Amino acid sequence: MGTLQHCAFPEKHQLIMSEPSKDEIVSSDHPGWRRPANTPSLPEVFSSIYVPPNAHFLRKMLAFAGPGLMVAVGYMDPGNWATDLAGGAQFGYTLLSVILISNFMAILLQHLALKLGIVTGRDLAQACRDHFSKPAAMFLWGLCEIAIAACDLAEVIGSAIALNLLFKIPLVVGILITACDVMIVLLLQNKGFRILECLVASLIVIIGGCFTYELAISHPSVPLILQNLLPKPEIVVNPGMLYIAIGILGATVMPHNLYLHSSIVQTRAFERNPRGKSMAIRYATIDSTVALLCAFFINSAILILSAAAFHGTIHENVADIGDAYHLLTPVLSVPLASVLFAVALLASGQNSTLTGTLAGQIVMEGFLEIRLRPWMRRLITRLVAIVPAVIVAIIFGDKGVGQLLILSQVILSLQLSFAVVPLVWFTCETKKMGPFVNSLWLKLLAWCVTSIIIGLNLFLLLQIVMSWLK
C-alpha cells in the first residue's frame, strides 16, 4: 500500500529530479515533425507519477500499472454488451474466436498508441494536428468528437438502464443522474491521477467478480468454450453470424482509446532518452496487454453467460440488455443472477464515463489547442450525449433507447479507420519515430489489421445503406 501512495503522491524533490525539462519534452531528434512538441498532453498530470529508475521489475511494473486498465475499460463498455448477448444467445459459443481475434487486434493497436506517446511526446491528436493540413486535421477532429459523443451515449444509456433495472428509476431520470458523474472525474483528477486509476481498477474488479459468479452458476460447457476459441468457416458463410461478428469487432476496438492511451502513458516520469523510452515502452506494453486480457475475460463472460442461459431455448433471440436482466434469474433459478448482472452493467457504464470524458479533453486540446476549463469540457461532452438520449427515452421508451445504444456502436465502428490509419502511418515512419519505428513484421501486421478494419467497416456501411433502400 505504501508503494501505491508513493506513486500517487510523489514528494516535491522526487518530481524535481524525475520531471523532464522543456528541452527533454521537445522531440527535436525526430525531423519528421513540423513543430516541436512544446506542450505536453494533459499538462496538469504530465510526468506526475514517479518511476524509480533503478528499482527491480515488480516496483517498476507497479509504477507503470494503471493506464492499461483505463484503456481496457473502453473494451468492456455497455456498447459491447448487446453484441455479446446477441452472439451468445443466437450462436452459442461459436463467436468466442471473434472476441479473441478482436482482443489481439486491440493489443496491437494499443501498443502502437502507447509507443507513439512515449517516443514522440505527443498524443495521437497532437500528432495528427502536426502532420496534416488544417482542413484535414479539423475533419479528423470532427469525426473524433462524433465518436466520443457516440461512446458517451452508450455509457449514459448503459448506466441509465442499470439504474432502472436495480432501483426502478425512470430512464429519463437515470440519464440526467449520469450527468452528475462528470464531477467525479474532476474531483479525482485534482486529487492525483493515481487515485483515478485506482477507482477504475476497483470498478473492473467489481465487474469481474460479478461475472465470475455468473459463470459459476450458469455451468457453461468448458470443452465447447475451448473448441470455439479457434475460428470456424461458418462464421464467414452464415450471414447472420457474420453480421454479429462484425458488430463484435466494431464494438471492441474503440477509436477514442487510441487517443487516450497515447496521452495517459505520458503521466509516468520516466527518463526522456532512448534508454528511458525503451524501458517505458516495455513496461507500458505489459500493463496494456494484461489489462486487455482482463477485458477479454469480461467480454467472453458476457457471451458465455448468454450462450449457457439462452442458446437452444425459446429465449435465443435475446439481444436487449433489459430482457437479459429479467430472464437470467428465472432461467438460472438463482435470485442474485439478475442483480449482479445489473451491478456489473452500472460499474461498466460509470467506468467508461471516467475514461471517455478524459479522452474528450485530450482530443479537443490536441487538435485545437483550446484549453477549456475541465468542468466545461466534460459538461459539453456529456450534454451532446444526454440530449439525444433524453429525447429518445421520452418519445420511444425502453426499446428506442436500446436501438440508440446499437446505433452508437455502428457510429464508433465507422469512425475507427480514421484513428487507426494515422496511428499506423506515424509509427511506421522512420523520420517520426527514429530508432523506435515499427519493425518490418510489425508494419506488415499493423497494415493487415488496418485493412481488415477498413474492409469490415465498408461492409457494415454497405449493409446500412442497403437496409435504408429497402
Domains of the chain (ranges, CATH numbers): 42-469 (1.20.1740.10)
- Tens of pLDDT, residues 130-145: 999 999 999 999 888 8
pLDDT tens string 34-70? 888 778 888 888 898 989 888 889 999 999 999 999 9
Rounded Cα gap, residues 228 and 243, in angstroms: 18
Residue 8: per-residue pLDDT: 39
**With 80 as the cut, is the pLDDT of residue 299 above it?**
yes
Residue 375 has pLDDT above 80, yes or no: no
- Cell numbers describing residue 288: 496494456
pLDDT: which is higher, 438 or 79: 438
Question: Averaged over 267-288, what is the pLDDT?
Answer: 94
**pLDDT tens string 95-134:** 999 999 999 999 999 999 999 999 999 999 999 999 999 9
Lowest mean pLDDT of 28-37, 203-212, 236-245, 444-453, name the range.
Answer: 28-37
What are the pLDDT digits (tens) for 447-457?
Answer: 999 998 888 77
Chain centroid to CA 33: how far?
28
Question: Which pLDDT tens digit goes with each residue over 314-366?
Answer: 888 886 777 888 888 888 888 888 899 999 988 888 887 778 778 888 888 89
Residue 150, pLDDT score: 74
User: What is the mean predicted confidence (pLDDT) over 257-263?
Assistant: 93
Question: What DSSP element (H or E) covers 269?
Answer: strand 268-269
Tell me what pLDDT residue 401 has: 64
> What is the Cα–Cα distance from 45 to 277, expressed in whole angstroms?
18
Helix orientation angle between 274-310 and 57-64, rounded to the nearest 10 degrees = 70
Q: Taking the CB of residue 161, how many other CB atoms lie within 10 A of it?
A: 27
Mean pLDDT on 196-216? 90
Q: What is the mean pLDDT of the chain?
A: 82
The residue ranking higher by pLDDT, 358 or 25, is 358
Whether 470 has a pLDDT exceeding 70, the answer reads no
pLDDT at residue 11, as a whole number? 37
Bridge partners of 268, per DSSP, are 49
Span 151-164, pLDDT tens digits? 777 777 788 888 88
* Integer angstrom CA distances of residue 331 from 299, 300, 338: 21, 20, 10
Is pLDDT at 13 greater than 70 in this prediction? Answer: no
* Neighbouring residues of 333: CB distance < 8 A, sequence distance ≥ 6: none
Q: Which of 136-140, 195-199, 293-297 has the lowest mean pLDDT?
A: 195-199
